[in-house]
């Protein structure tokens, strides 16, 4: 797959990725227009992640938070959090633009792009399931919706596998990931736990410990996520 192809389909960056019945709220376009880089509001679709949290009873958040310009915008938010963390620590990031953030993170890691995309999908599905809302009936509804979407069969198979079984935090790769890539993973989890139920908060705490992330960096990422969520609340 090409760079970010799986993530763009999962997060949403193509009109074909979203069923017509899902629609798009005004807040969706507002968030898209607020983040530089990537596609415009008219080009972006909701993606699989919107289906996951849309079925949790938060369709406005689903369309507005996750389905905004796919992986490019996720990288922009992660870069802002990471850059602010470095500056507050009086350190030079060595990364001078959001466009270089992800590639810089890959260069410092022992994983490739394809491996990272799988880890991102796994992390976000685990986060979406962390509140226990997705029961057997909801699972069937989600799978039926995803089956109708025009996405790669490889991605469908991965998501179906993750939906049908429990996902342990220990399955999410932590070793060999740079802080920039960990930032993207953690931000993705924050954006699909918008309800912030006690079980979701507990999941995020376990994930941060598992990834061995600096507490101040976790704080910056959570702050960026809250700011983005507040725009569509």
Q: Indicate the number of domains in the chain.
A: 1
Q: Tokens representing 188? A: 């993705």
**Boundaries of domain holding 126:** 5-230
pLDDT, average across residues 138-145: 82
Task: Report residue 68's pLDDT band, with 50, 70 and 90 as the boundaries.
Answer: very low
* Position 30 pLDDT exceeds 50: no
* Position 16 pLDDT exceeds 70: no
Q: What is the pLDDT of residues 177-189, one digit of tens each?
A: 999 999 999 998 9
Which is nearest to 219 in space by CA: 177, 190, 195, 196?
Answer: 190
Q: What is the dihedral of CA 80, 213, 85, 110, to 10 degrees?
A: -60
pLDDT, average across residues 75-97: 83
Q: What is the pLDDT of residues 146-202, one digit of tens each?
A: 888 777 888 888 888 988 888 999 999 999 999 999 999 999 899 888 778 899 999
Could you count the other beta carbons within 10 Å of the beta carbon of residue 131?
A: 18
CA 11 – CA 52 distance, rounded (Å): 11
* Position 104 pLDDT exceeds 60: yes
């Amino acid at each position: 797959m090409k760079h970010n192809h799986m993530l763009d389909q999962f997060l949403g960056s193509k009109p074909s990725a979203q069923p017509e019945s899902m629609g798009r709220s005004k807040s969706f376009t507002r968030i898209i227009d607020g983040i530089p880089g990537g596609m415009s509001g008219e080009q972006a679709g909701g993606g699989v992640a919107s289906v996951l949290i849309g079925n949790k009873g938060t369709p406005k958040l689903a369309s507005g938070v996750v389905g905004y310009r796919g992986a490019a915008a996720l990288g922009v938010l992660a870069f802002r959090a990471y850059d602010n963390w470095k500056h507050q620590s009086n350190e030079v990031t060595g990364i001078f633009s959001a466009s270089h953030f992800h590639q810089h993170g890959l260069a410092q890691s022992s994983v490739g792009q394809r491996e990272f995309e799988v880890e991102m999908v796994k992390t976000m599905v685990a986060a979406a399931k962390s509140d226990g809302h997705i029961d057997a009936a909801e699972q069937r509804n989600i799978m039926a919706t995803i089956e109708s979407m025009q996405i790669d069969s490889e991605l469908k198979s991965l998501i179906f596998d993750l939906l049908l079984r429990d996902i342990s935090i220990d399955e999410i790769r932590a070793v060999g990931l740079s802080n920039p890539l960990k930032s993207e993973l953690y931000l993705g989890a924050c954006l699909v736990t918008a309800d912030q139920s006690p079980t979701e908060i507990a999941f995020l705490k376990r994930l941060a410990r598992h990834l061995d992330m600096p507490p101040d960096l976790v704080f910056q990422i959570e702050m960026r996520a809250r700011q983005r969520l507040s725009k569509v609340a």
